[in-house]
């Protein structure tokens, strides 16, 4: 590939980063990185009445979190960029280029000012439909001369600019994913490229920018395939050589081939895996005290994963395989390996379904490879966000979290799972008890209280006990009492953690430390009235 590879991702500022959008961005990023080229981010905001800043922030934040860095961009957007030296391109700041292009297209006859009123075009469209014919605009209000313009304007009409599209012949496009695609020009319309208020339409802005930014490969969602003929027409009319195109199949819904959309959440929640992932996320968000709305916090949107503590690399690895494969078996790729192996010709033509269970499995696997130190540090951050680290803290947070991380092992699948162990960070006199477990293990089991009281006295003698010592101690205690370990251990867990389940009991007791385990048993005994 002799030319410099330059790709771009062109998000509209929608206020959220869709998981399918990230897949598109990832493929662009990988392709550019692999060829030592550049990856550009260009905000498609030619049509925005809304607050672009606010709607863009989650998208840029998502890129930063995922580590999809972009090259180039104006310095004035630097505050929005992760690297801090350049922002993304904003089309709203580049209108003069689009206006120039429109003038050139009109001058060369490839476009014209059209003074039709929307209802007049609509009437033609309806008439064609009624007659069972394809709609072809009559070009009745096309201004060919200054005199035409003056006449139409005197009638109080306003002009849009339309392309004077070819009405016969075929465009043959060699798409790098889809292969040869043919389009009949007759099926195209005289598409609008500039609105009456002078603002450019996406198709024009996109083509002009792709040229000015020397984009070599346009890698984008399949839904833009049908836009390509008019874009090629614009490019050719302006004397550009169109870039290469690669249209990616869309990311489909879990368990179906329809396009994944953030608007069909109710439907996806009927999918068990999707619902489970969503439920887990909502639970963690609740514990973190996040104000979430289903609209912006669900498994279709990238922010969801960041908040609950997924690993960016796991998400990228999963998305890589959503529509691409190296061979039939290999699943794990580091970032460097993704860059090394990615090729457009191995992108599938058929849509790939978003599979929450598979994504979760990638995350589980990746999490088990994270060094303990990093897991601990990120877990501490989570606890702080959830305000579980109190002032003064209920325990020596760093070492306790390190201990939990070690003892919990693969129970910590996302960083938010550390919040399951909130009981360690609660002051001993504030511990709450799972009511069902309390009743079952301590109230209905009448022997539990007296046994706990006796064990407490044994425990009091071993202030420096390790988990192994504690285990040996409890076994000896049970033997002496002539009971099985099961007759006390559940009550002990509820008394010291408030919960029915957790990781190893002895690791738990060791992590609590001498004073805290005794204090908790004492509190439970007092509550029981022993």
Tokens at 255, concatenated? 């368990």
The reply to whether 247 sits near ligand GLU by the rule CB under 6 A is: no
N-term to C-term CA, the chain: 81
Residue 44 or 507 having the CB closest to ligand GLU: 44
Q: What are the two backbone dihedrals, phi and then psi, of residue 92, each rounded to the nearest 5 degrees?
A: -65, -20
Catalytic residue at 130?
A: no
Cis peptide before 392 (omega within 30 of 0): yes
- DSSP string for 229-270: HHHHHHHHHTTPPP-EEEEEPPEEPTTSSSBP-TT-HHHHTT
- Report the C-alpha gap between 10 and 24 in whole angstroms: 10
The reply to whether 303 sits near ligand GLU by the rule CB under 6 A is: no
In this structure, are residues 39 and 70 in contact, taking their beta carbons and an 8 Å threshold? Answer: yes
Q: Tokens 């969602």 correspond to what residue?
A: 221
The reply to whether 317 sits near ligand GLU by the rule CB under 6 A is: no
Q: Which of 62, 80, 72, 65 has its CA nearest to residue 21?
A: 62
CB of 486 to ligand GLU, least distance (A): 59
In our burial notation (b when 16+ CB lie closer than 10 A, e otherwise), range 388-401 reads bbeeeebbebeebb
Span near ligand GLU by CB under 6 A; candidates 9-17, 117-125, 253-261, 339-347: 9-17
- Residues in a beta bridge with 324: 347
Q: Which of 253, 366, 370, 334 has its CA nearest to residue 300?
A: 253
Q: Scan residues 217-246 and list those touching ligand GLU (CB under 6 A).
A: 220-221, 224
Q: Quick one: which H or E segment has residue 360?
A: helix 356-368
CB of 294 to ligand GLU, least distance (A): 22
CB of 296 to ligand GLU, least distance (A): 18
The reply to whether 45 sits near ligand GLU by the rule CB under 6 A is: no
The reply to whether 471 sits near ligand GLU by the rule CB under 6 A is: no
Burial degree of 57 (CB within 10 A; 0-12, 13-18, 19+): middle
Per-position x/- string for 178-217, each x denoting binding to ligand GLU as judged by CB under 6 A, each - no binding? ----------------------------x-----------
Residue 191 or 490 having the CB closest to ligand GLU: 191
Q: Which of 521, 341, 368 has its CA nearest to residue 431?
A: 521
The reply to whether 13 sits near ligand GLU by the rule CB under 6 A is: no
The reply to whether 104 sits near ligand GLU by the rule CB under 6 A is: no
CB of 8 to ligand GLU, least distance (A): 7
CB of 10 to ligand GLU, least distance (A): 4
**For the chain, how are helix, strand and coil distributed in percent, rounded to 5?**
55, 10, 35
Tokens at 286, concatenated? 């609740």
- Report the C-alpha gap between 249 and 23 in whole angstroms: 11
Span near ligand GLU by CB under 6 A; candidates 4-12, 310-318, 344-352, 472-480: 4-12
Per-position x/- string for 25-44, each x denoting binding to ligand GLU as judged by CB under 6 A, each - no binding? -------------------x
In this structure, are residues 453 and 468 in contact, taking their beta carbons and an 8 Å threshold? Answer: no
Residue 248 or 288 having the CB closest to ligand GLU: 248
262 is in an annotated binding site: yes
* Residue in 5, 6, 7, 11 binding ligand GLU, rule: CB under 6 A: 11
The one catalytic residue among 83, 174, 259, 262 = 262
Span near ligand GLU by CB under 6 A; candidates 6-14, 193-201, 422-430, 445-453: 6-14
CB of 514 to ligand GLU, least distance (A): 59
CB of 258 to ligand GLU, least distance (A): 18
Q: Among positive and negative, which fits the CA dihedral 222, 226, 231, 236?
A: positive
Residue 303 or 428 having the CB closest to ligand GLU: 303
Report the catalytic residues.
262
Residues binding ligand GLU (CB under 6 A): 10-12, 44, 206, 220-221, 224
């Amino acid at each position: 590939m002799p030319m410099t590879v330059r790709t771009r991702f062109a998000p509209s500022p929608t206020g959220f980063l869709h998981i399918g959008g990230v897949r598109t961005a990832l493929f662009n990023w990988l392709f550019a990185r692999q060829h030592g080229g550049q990856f550009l981010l260009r905000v498609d905001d030619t049509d925005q009445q809304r607050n672009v800043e606010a709607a863009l922030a989650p998208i840029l934040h998502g890129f930063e979190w995922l580590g999809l860095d972009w090259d180039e961009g104006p310095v004035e957007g630097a505050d929005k960029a992760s690297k801090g030296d350049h922002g993304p391109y904003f089309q709203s700041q580049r209108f003069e280029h689009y206006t120039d292009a429109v003038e050139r297209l009109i001058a060369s006859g490839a476009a014209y000012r059209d003074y039709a009123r929307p209802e007049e075009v609509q009437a033609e469209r309806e008439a064609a439909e009624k007659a069972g014919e394809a709609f072809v605009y009559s070009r009745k209000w096309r201004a060919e001369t200054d005199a035409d313009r003056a006449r139409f304007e005197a009638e109080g009409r306003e002009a849009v600019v339309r392309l004077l599209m070819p009405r016969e012949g075929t465009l043959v496009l060699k798409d790098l994913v889809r292969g040869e695609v043919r389009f009949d020009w007759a099926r195209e319309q005289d598409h609008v490229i500039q609105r009456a208020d002078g603002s450019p339409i996406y198709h024009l802005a996109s083509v002009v920018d792709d040229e000015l930014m020397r984009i070599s490969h346009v890698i984008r969602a399949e839904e833009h395939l049908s836009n390509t003929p008019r874009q090629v027409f614009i490019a050719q009319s302006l004397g550009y050589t169109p870039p290469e195109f690669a249209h990616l199949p869309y990311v489909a819904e879990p368990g179906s081939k329809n396009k994944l959309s953030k608007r069909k959440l109710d439907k996806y929640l009927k999918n068990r895996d999707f619902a489970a992932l969503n439920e887990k996320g909502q639970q963690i968000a609740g514990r973190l005290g996040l104000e979430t709305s289903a609209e912006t916090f669900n498994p279709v949107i990238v922010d969801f994963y960041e908040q609950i503590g997924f690993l960016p690399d796991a998400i990228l690895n999963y998305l890589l395989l959503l529509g691409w494969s190296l061979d039939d078996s290999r699943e794990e790729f580091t970032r460097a390996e993704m860059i090394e192996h990615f090729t457009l010709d191995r992108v599938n033509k058929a849509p790939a379904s978003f599979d929450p269970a598979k994504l979760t499995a990638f995350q589980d696997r990746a999490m088990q490879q994270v060094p303990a130190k990093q897991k601990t540090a990120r877990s501490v951050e989570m606890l702080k966000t959830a305000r579980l680290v109190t002032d003064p803290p209920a325990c020596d947070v760093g070492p306790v979290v390190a201990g939990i991380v070690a003892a919990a092992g693969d129970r910590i699948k996302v960083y938010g799972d550390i919040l399951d162990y909130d009981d360690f960070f609660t002051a001993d006199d504030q511990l709450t008890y799972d009511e069902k477990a309390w009743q079952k293990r301590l109230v209905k089991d009448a022997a539990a209280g007296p046994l706990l009281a006796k064990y407490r006295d044994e425990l009091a003698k071993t202030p420096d006990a390790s988990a192994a010592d504690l285990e040996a101690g409890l076994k000896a205690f049970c033997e002496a009492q002539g009971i099985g370990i099961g007759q006390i251990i559940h009550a002990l867990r509820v008394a010291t953690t408030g919960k029915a389940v957790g990781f190893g009991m002895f690791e738990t007791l060791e992590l609590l430390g001498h004073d805290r385990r005794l204090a908790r048993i004492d509190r439970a005994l007092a509550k029981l009235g022993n």
